[in-house]
Amino acid sequence: MSEAIRDIGHAVNLDERHAVGVVRSSHPVYVDLMPPCNDACPAGENIQAWLDHARAGDWHGAWQVMTADNPFPAIHGRVCYHPCEGACNRGSLDGSVSIHAIERYIGDLGNAQGWTVARAPATGKKVLVVGAGPSGLSAAWHLAVRGHEVTILEAGPIAGGMMRFAIPAYRLPRDILAREVARVEELGVRIVLDHRVADILAEQRAGGYDAVYLAIGAQVGRHVDIPARDAARVMDALDLLRAASQGEKPLLGRRVAIYGGGNTAMDAARTARRLGASDAMIIYRRDAAHMPAHAFEAQEAEEEGITFKWLSSIKDMTGEDITVEKMAIDDKGKVTPTGEYETLKADSLVLALGQTTDVDFLRGVPGLEFAPDGTLIVGEDMQTGHPGLFAGGDVTPATRSVTNAVGLGKHAARHIDAWLNGTRWEHPPRHPLVSFDDLHLPIFDDALKAKQAETPIEQRTGFQEVMGGLTEAEALHEAGRCLSCGNCYECDNCYAACPEDAITKLGPGLGYSVNLSLCTGCRACFEQCPCHAIDMVPESAPVAVAGPSLSEAVQ
């Protein structure tokens, strides 16, 4: 009897938790998701990461993260069409984060401070880059950072390519462009100007280059057959922009018609006004909804007095008379002629119908393949059919923009670097995308978007920059508007919300851990995470979770 009493009355540890709690069906896991801004960036920038540095006032850290992907932040902050902002989740709340304006601020600060990047030890490998436009300069930068010896051969008299000759100074000041190009040279890249390549394989042999990157761009205007009695009245948009960039003033007359609906057409029209034309009219065969130009560029052109003649196709130009045929467009964007004609008046006609590339000097290279439009066909590793010959930017089938060209230059450099080392570069696995609906919005405060100053319309008579930059305070405010979609920024909401003390803070920059022996799967942390950096993962089988200790229960 006494033995039984001893069994019943054994000592109890009051601080030990006992399995009298709930049955957990899922548990929290910290995740790293793809923010939509990063996903939309053609240059492949880790936007959210450098915004995190920026919101803390760590401008140099932000610049370092930024230039790991894009060596030209001051340029991109001015000329990129910022698809990142179109994808920004905050755009569905109170306005997207002005990513391009912050990038511009950081880029300008980096130029003013003379920030540089470290270069890896010399590899002994030599790479030839043909073309000193955005793609060629980007590839050269990334190859030089990796320790390779890089030479750029440029056919023109100055580096920059279409950034210099096709983007007017009122959008991209030439001192900004020159400073960012100079930083590439400071890495040891040699740029040889006025050197047109006639035989690429001979150039490679003569220089002893281990690999070649072709980045010759698309600098030839595309023409259509428009009967004109006076050819002197017709000029190409690229010729107009190139002349203006060199300080020349082509004879355009008072009334200028621009044929085309892309960004080059907008720049040509705005440039014509600055060169003295009192009337500049854009003629396009589709309507505003189907024009290839970015909406903000068309809006800026309209603000400066540029007029638009939609659904019109030019058939003839005789003297100052331009004959256009009216077009009709259906719901699918298909354009059909109506047989109705109209006569417009203009002193000159500027053709802005797109660009093509000049690849004639490559036709005899063994293994190269060309698309019907003349562009070079490359593989996933950006290598052509000729071993060691890579290509990217506008000379390949790709979206034509500065940002995309810079991104392709970076990817080419990674592939070339791997090829030189006898390996193959593989793109890291893509993380799942986080959407606006995934966020817990009640946790965020409203914060209006900072606005960039603009030169008043009446003062836009020359080529001074139109858009102003942000102050440091404005850049800090704007960076602070980032919602950090899909990535933890250590706000401590999960730590404070957990009723079981199952979450442990690991220290600044280290995040948190979850003690699954205490977690009941109540979802409090998940629901309090503002940026969806926590997912609830189903258990493979229900898990019984220990309840509180007896000493905790009586407190």
pLDDT in tens, 141-171: 999 999 999 999 999 999 999 999 999 999 9
In this prediction, residues 135-145 reach a mean pLDDT of 99
- In terms of pLDDT, which residue wins out, 429 or 108? 108
State both tokens at 163. Answer: 């950034």
Token pair of 516 as six digits: 């699954």
pLDDT at position 231 = 64
Apex 163 CA angle, 416 and 399, nearest 5: 60
Rounded CA separation 175/164 (Å): 11
Q: Is the pLDDT of residue 395 over 70?
A: yes
Give CA–CA dist 493/527, Å, rounded.
9
More confident residue, 179 or 6: 179
User: What angle (nearest 5°) sits at the alpha carbon of residue 135, between those of residues 133 and 138?
Assistant: 100
Alpha helices in 125-262, H assignment, sequence order: 134-145, 162-165, 174-186, 200-207, 237-245
The per-residue pLDDT for 549 is 47
Residue 84 has pLDDT above 80, yes or no: yes
Average pLDDT, integer, range 208-234: 84
Q: From the CA atom positions of the chain, what is the Rg in Å?
A: 30
pLDDT at 78 over 70: yes
- Provide the 10 A C-beta neighbour count for residue 410: 24
More confident residue, 11 or 536: 536
The residues pairing with 342 across neighbouring beta strands, listed in sequence order, are: 324
Mean pLDDT of 316-339: 92
pLDDT at 398: 84
251: number of Cβ within 10 Å? 11
pLDDT at 438 over 80: yes
Find residue 282's DSSP bridge partners: 258, 308
Residues belonging to the chain: 555
Percent residues over pLDDT 90 in the chain? 84
Q: Quick one: angle between helices 402-420 and 134-145, nearest 10?
A: 40
Band of pLDDT at residue 473, cut at 50, 70 and 90: very high
Residue 444 pLDDT > 50, yes or no?
yes
Residues 6+ apart with CB under 8 A from 140: 127, 129, 150, 152, 184, 189, 409, 413
Burial 517-547 (b: 16+ CB within 10 A, else e): ebbbbbebbbebbbbbbbbeeeeeeebebbb
Q: What is the mean pLDDT of residues 130-135?
A: 98
With beta carbons less than 8 A apart as the criterion, state whether 376 and 368 touch: yes
Task: Please provide residue 343's backbone torsions phi and psi, each rounded to the nearest 5 degrees.
Answer: -110, 125
Residues 519 and 21: their CA atoms lie apart, in Å, by: 10
pLDDT the model gives residue 441: 80
Residue 182's pLDDT band (boundaries 50, 70, 90)? very high
Residue 484 has pLDDT above 70, yes or no: yes
Give me the numbers of helices (H) and strands (E) for the chain, helices first please: 19, 19
Residue 297 pLDDT: 93
State yes or no: pLDDT of 7 exceeds 70. no
Please say whether the dihedral angle defined by the alpha carbons of residues 8, 10, 11 and 13, taken in this order, is positive or negative.
negative
Query: Which pLDDT value is given to residue 230?
Result: 65
Residue 203 has pLDDT above 70, yes or no: yes
> Domains in the chain, start-ordered, CATH in brackets?
16-32+488-553 (3.30.70.20), 36-115+456-480 (1.10.1060.10), 126-219+357-420 (3.50.50.60), 249-346 (3.50.50.60)
Structure tokens at 86: 């179109």
> Mean pLDDT of all residues in the chain?
92
Q: What is the mean pLDDT of residues 288-314?
A: 95
- Please tell me whether residue 457 adopts helix, strand or coil conformation: helix
Helix (H, G, I), strand (E, B) or coil at 508: coil
**What pLDDT sits at residue 130?**
98
What was the pLDDT predicted at 5?
Answer: 43
Mean pLDDT in residue range 220-241: 81
* Stretch (H or E) spanning 496: helix 493-497
Q: Mean per-residue pLDDT for 27-54?
A: 97
Contact 189, 180 (CB under 8 A): no
* Token pair 């800026």 in the structure block, residue: 300
What separation in angstroms does the CA of 459 have from each of 143, 269, 298, 463?
43, 17, 19, 10
- Integer Cα distance of 162 and 140 in angstroms: 17
Give me 227's structure tokens: 């009967």
Partner residues linked to 23 by β-bridges: 544
Tell whether the torsion through CA atoms of 337, 340, 341 and 344 is positive or negative: negative
Task: Specify the pTM.
Answer: 0.90
Residue 232: per-residue pLDDT: 64
Q: Are 200 and 214 in contact (CB under 8 A)?
A: yes
